[in-house]
Amino acid sequence: MQKAFFKHALEPVMIQREENEEADVMETCDRCNADMENTTERTQEEITISGNPAKPQGEDGEMMLKRMNESHSAVTCWALEHWQIAPDDEILDIGCGGGATLKRMSEKVTTGHLTGVDYSPVSVETSLETNRQDVESGKMKVLEGSVESLSFADDTFDKITTVESFYFWPAPQENLKEVRRVLKPGGTFVLVADTYNKEGLDPKTLENIYRFHLFTPTREEFQELFEKAGFEDIQIHIKEGTDWICVEGKSDKNDRKSGTLRNIFIASSVFDE
């Protein structure tokens, strides 16, 4: 009787002890998981700083670019919805980074050609790796170069894009003029960014803007930059609920033709005299 009594009397205590031990284990696991998440976050931040978003470098730069191929996917897909890519388009991607945008556009280009340009050797190599098949087939090429001086003739491309690179352009206003120079009359340039200067940016975004010295114009400043660079029919798209912006500008179809006719007329007038 006494043994049975003590057995029944101890059972609630043992159950409570087991529950307490289980709770302690769960709490420890939660702390471990939180520590792992914080470690991962810190590691990614360290990789980004070391990899240098402005000009990716080294192994960290390569790791950062491959991560950005995924993290920039949503804003890129949204922006390209505003763009009708034709099968025979000649397209240039400035600041092509890890090559994901080139790969995505390549799906719609069949008889045309794509060119990627980046001033980071690591970005060039990563883009080549991402698009190996298209490069080997001759459908695409990736070159090392800067938006300051693009190594292409006037009126070369039907479409030009830049995704998440405008933040780092050395002389934005002059660089936009260089973009327009290599764009065919009637061609379209699309600038894509997941952050622009506006009220309500979260503290982490502001911290990154200052840390990496990002050039982030307001919507109105983007309009002015494009106008001064000579783009026509400028359209600015904003994604509601985000900080995303997509700016479109077209090269005037008649601009260069008018210039040529004007020069011919002046020359004719001189000879007539």
Closest CA to 195 of 184, 206, 185, 187: 206
Residue 198: per-residue pLDDT: 96
| Measured torsion, CA atoms of residues 233, 236, 229, 161, in degrees rounded to the nearest 10 | -100
Residues with Cβ within 8 Å of 115's Cβ and at least 6 positions away in sequence, in order, are 90, 91, 92, 93, 140, 141, 142, 143, 152, 157
Q: How far apart are CA 29 and CA 203, in angstroms?
A: 30
Q: How many whole angstroms separate alpha carbon 109 and alpha carbon 93?
A: 14
Q: What's the pTM value of the predicted model, to 2 decimals?
A: 0.78
Dist. CA 105–CA 76, nearest whole Å: 10
Low-confidence ranges of the chain (pLDDT < 70): 1-42, 255-273
CA 87, distance to chain mean position in Å, is 23
Phi and psi at 16, nearest 5°, equal -65, -40
pLDDT for res 255: 59
pLDDT computed for residue 260 by the predictor = 38
Q: What pLDDT does 100 receive?
A: 97
